[in-house]
């Protein structure tokens, strides 16, 4: 199990007496990330991390072979009475116990434990609180090695993005015009050549397609990219390994030499929204102010709303970037739209900043990656678009 010193210090600061990670048949991905190693369990398991002292694993005898190599202290149970009695002993002092639970289900990514299990733990005389920020500290933080791998991936993703735009530029000049699907597959091939992995193929969206945040190019009837078109590229990849972090970016381009006024206007609004979030995060760091995810979302949406584009907002401002199999991580999201994310912007975590405006005829999203460096504060770790790319 990963070192828990910083975690326990935070727990004591927050008056959390223990973190109870409950898992049944692999239903809790946080449990799996704290106790790494593929396991196939058939019975309930609980990892109890106290605010002071050593962690204890409670597991069924039939799953003994899945855990026997762990250095963690293990207590075995056989019957449901044994299971409950052991928990009762461990929690006999009462107090506040964190679980993968959020009141009202306000944060779906954290709301993992079923209501009945929460009721059972409460019946033992403890107060159940959310483990949302504990997950950030123990699971979502970037290790030095992950930061280095992310920087390497970011350089490669930026280069491949440039190659994709150049492919479109060359094909428009010499013919035939490329399709969305051709450009997408070119990016996929370049990722493979660079030794990167991606959870899904990138988004390559022309004109009205760029107004759909999750557009998928068609392999059988792809749209052509022609002169005078608007193009959005959204691409993400990482060095292989679930300890590593995705580089996730979105850029836009115009296949001509003179950008239409409307496209320029929308681009500038989205750019101001994106840069406003970074500036607010940096200001808070300098002032030693602790922000929550929803507050940064409000910064971006305020810019878009005041510019008159509120009805063209389709999603939150950003998502977590953390270790694990998914590009959308388990840490704080920059969100006061889809959820009211009250998790703290903590040192060592990362997230995207990607405000967007999606009109019927075209969309603009500008996505960057931000890491809260424990010494330097918020830093942009990805490439950073400052002007519309010209393809003509």
Q: What is the mean pLDDT of residues 18-28?
A: 95
Nearest CA among 336, 340, 335, 338 for reference residue 351 = 335
Amino acid 342: pLDDT: 96
- Which string of DSSP letters, residue by residue, matches 147-202? HHHHHHHHHHHHHHHHHHHHHHHHHHHHSSPPBHHHHHHHHHHHHHHTT-B-SSPP
Please give the mean pLDDT across all residues of the chain. Answer: 95
pTM score of the predicted model: 0.94
Hey, which CATH number is domain 5-140, 3.30.930.10, 3.40.50.620, 3.40.350.10, 1.10.10.60? Answer: 3.40.350.10
The span from the CA of 357 to the CA of 309, in Å, is: 7
The sign of the torsion formed by the CA atoms of 39, 121, 101, 52 equals: negative
Residue 35 has pLDDT above 90, yes or no: no
How deeply is 80 buried, as exposed, middle or buried, from its count of CB atoms within 10 A (0-12, 13-18, 19+)?
exposed
Q: Yes or no: say if 154 and 382 are a contact pair by the CB < 8 Å rule.
A: yes
Q: Yes or no: say if 250 and 233 are a contact pair by the CB < 8 Å rule.
A: yes
CATH number given to 144-390: 3.90.230.10
pLDDT digits (tens, 9 = 90+) for 51-106: 999 999 999 999 988 887 788 899 999 999 999 999 999 999 889 999 999 999 99
Q: What is the mean pLDDT of residues 263-271?
A: 98
Q: Yes or no: say if 326 and 198 are a contact pair by the CB < 8 Å rule.
A: no
Domain boundaries, the chain: 5-140, 144-390
Strand 44-50 to 18-24 pairing: antiparallel
pLDDT digits (tens, 9 = 90+) for 102-132: 999 999 999 999 999 999 999 999 999 999 9
The span from the CA of 269 to the CA of 365, in Å, is: 10
- Which string of DSSP letters, residue by residue, matches 251-296? EEEESSSS--HHHHHHHHHHHHHHHHHHHHHHHHHHTT---BHHHH
Residue 220 has pLDDT above 60, yes or no: yes
pLDDT digits (tens, 9 = 90+) for 321-345: 999 889 999 999 999 999 999 999 9
Amino acid 1: pLDDT: 53
Amino acid 71: pLDDT: 80
């Amino acid at each position: 199990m990963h070192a828990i010193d910083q975690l326990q210090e935070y727990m004591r600061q927050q008056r959390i007496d223990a973190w109870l990670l409950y898992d049944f048949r692999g239903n809790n991905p946080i449990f799996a990330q704290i106790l790494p190693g593929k396991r196939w369990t058939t019975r309930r398991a609980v990892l109890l991390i106290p605010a002071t002292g050593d962690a204890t694993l409670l597991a069924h005898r039939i799953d003994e072979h899945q855990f026997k190599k762990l250095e963690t202290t293990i207590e075995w149970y056989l019957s449901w009475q044994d299971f409950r009695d052991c928990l009762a002993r461990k929690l006999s002092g009462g107090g506040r116990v964190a679980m993968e639970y959020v009141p009202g289900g306000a944060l779906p990514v954290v709301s993992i434990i079923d209501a009945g299990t929460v009721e059972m733990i409460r019946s033992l005389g403890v107060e159940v609180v959310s483990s949302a920020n504990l997950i950030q500290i123990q699971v979502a933080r970037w290790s030095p090695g992950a930061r280095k791998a992310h920087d390497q991936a970011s350089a490669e993703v930026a280069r491949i993005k440039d190659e994709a735009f150049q492919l479109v530029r060359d094909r428009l000049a010499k013919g035939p015009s490329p399709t969305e699907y051709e450009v997408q597959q070119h990016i996929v091939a370049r990722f493979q050549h660079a030794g990167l992995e991606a959870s899904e193929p990138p988004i390559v969206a022309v004109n009205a397609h760029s107004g759909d945040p999750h557009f998928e190019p068609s392999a059988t009837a792809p749209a052509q990219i022609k002169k005078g078109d608007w193009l959005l590229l959204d691409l993400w990849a990482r060095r292989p390994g679930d300890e590593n972090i995705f580089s996730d970016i979105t850029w836009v381009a115009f296949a001509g030499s003179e950008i239409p006024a409307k496209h320029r206007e929308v681009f500038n609004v989205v750019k101001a929204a994106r840069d406003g979030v970074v500036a607010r995060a940096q200001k808070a760091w300098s002032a030693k102010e602790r922000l929550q995810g929803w507050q940064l979302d409000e910064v971006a949406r305020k810019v878009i709303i005041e510019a008159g584009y509120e009805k063209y907002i389709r999603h939150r401002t950003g998502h977590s970037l953390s270790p694990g199999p998914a590009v959308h991580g388990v840490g704080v999201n920059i969100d006061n739209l889809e959820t009211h994310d009250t998790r703290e912007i903590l040192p060592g975590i990362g997230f995207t900043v990607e405000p967007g405006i999606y009109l019927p005829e075209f969309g603009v999203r500008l996505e960057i990656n931000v890491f809260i460096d424990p010494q330097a504060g918020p830093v942009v770790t990805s490439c950073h678009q400052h002007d519309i790319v010209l393809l003509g």
